[in-house]
Amino acid sequence: MRKELRQRLAKDYSYAVTKMQEETQPAKKLFYFSVLFSEAQRVLNWEWNRDLALIYTVTQHVHTQINMTMQVPGLGQTLPIDWTTVFDKLTQITSDLAAYLEKTENEDSGEELCQILGRLAEIAYAVNGNGSYLYEKGLIKF
């Protein structure tokens, strides 16, 4: 990915992290998290990049899964979900993704990106029924 596009993503992702850290309401934290897939999609219109398509897909899924669980009446309260921990970890991983984009200049760092995206996928899985059960049993650890 061109340096200026990577820097644009890193800057917007860092801004989202700052806003997520400042915000106390989960819905607003999730709103700022949506910057990740929205900005990824914009950049994909200028330059196709497989890693960025993966970032887009994973972050959009995480957003959708958290939003769905929060919006379904009673589901977010029925499942043993520690929302404070979920949003703290979501913010931390978003920060890690921004830092990754700030420093990465070559294509040889795919393993680090996969680790970051895997941590995001764990969050998405932990807020569904089975994932919440596995988190409660201690099998999923953030």
142 found inside a domain: no
Q: Is residue 116 included in any domain, yes or no?
A: yes
Q: Which domain holds residue 88?
A: 3-137
Per-residue pLDDT of the chain (142 residues; tens, 9 = 90+): 888 999 999 999 999 999 999 999 999 999 999 999 999 999 999 999 999 999 999 999 999 999 998 887 665 567 778 889 999 999 999 999 999 999 866 555 788 999 999 999 999 999 988 888 888 898 988 8
Q: Is residue 42 a part of any domain in this protein? A: yes
Residue 99 counted as domain residue: yes
Number of separate domains in the chain:
1
**DSSP string covering the chain, please?**
--HHHHHHHHHHHHHHHHHHHH--SHHHHHHHHTHHHHHHHHHHHHS--HHHHHHHHHHHHHHHHHHHHHHSTTHHHHS---HHHHHHHHHHHHHHHHHHHHH--SGGGHHHHHHHHHHHHHHHHHTSHHHHHHHHHTSS--
What pLDDT sits at residue 142? 80
Which residues have CB under 8 Å from 66's CB, separation 6+? 30, 86, 90, 123, 124, 127
Please report, as a single letter, which amino acid is at residue 40: A
The string of pLDDT tens digits covering residues 11-39 is 999 999 999 999 999 999 999 999 999 99
> In sequence order, which residues have a C-beta less than 8 Å from that of residue 41 and are 6 or more positions away?
56
Question: Cα separation of 45 and 93, whole Å?
Answer: 25
Report whether 86 contacts 126 (CB < 8 A): yes
